[in-house]
Amino acid sequence: MKGTPSNPVCGFSLRVVQILKHLGCDFASANILTSKSVVKNLKYVSDWKTYPQLFINGEFVGGCDVVTELFESGELKKMLEKAGAFSEPEEAEKPASTVSK
C-alpha cells in the first residue's frame, strides 16, 4: 500500500484499509513508498501494476476495485474467514454466555 494503515497516502489504500478494518480482520501491510524491495518483488508475484494489492495467505486477490467488489458481494469476508484472518475475541470481549466460569 502507499503509506501505512494509520496514515494511507492515497485514496485507494485508504479504501482497502477501511474495508479490512470494517470487517475486523487481522492484516499486515508494507509501505511501497519506503520499501523498494517490496515493489521490485511484487511485480514478479502479482503482475499487477497498481497499489494497494491484497494477498490472502500468499495468494494475490486484487487491487482496490476488486477488493471493493468482493466486499460488496460478501465474498471477501468469506475468503478471509476461510483463511483464518479473524482473531478469536478476548475473554473480556466475549458475550457473557460464552465466558467460562
Q: Which domain holds residue 42?
A: 3-98
Q: What pLDDT score does 22 carry? A: 96
Find all residues with CB under 8 Å of 89, minimum gap 6, and list them: none
Q: What pLDDT score does 87 carry? A: 81
| Residue 101 clears pLDDT 60, i.e. is over it | no
Tally of domains in the chain: 1
The mean pLDDT value for 10-17 works out to: 98
Could you tell me which of 95, 93, 56, 97 has the C-alpha nearest to residue 78? 56
Could you tell me which of 2, 57, 63 has the C-alpha nearest to residue 29? 2
Tell me, what CATH number does 43's domain have? 3.40.30.10
| Residue 94 clears pLDDT 70, i.e. is over it | no
**Residue 51 buriedness (CB in 10 A; 0-12 / 13-18 / 19+):** buried
pLDDT digits (tens, 9 = 90+) for 30-81: 999 998 888 888 888 898 989 999 999 999 999 999 999 999 999 999 999 9
Q: Is 25 among the annotated ligand-binding positions?
A: no
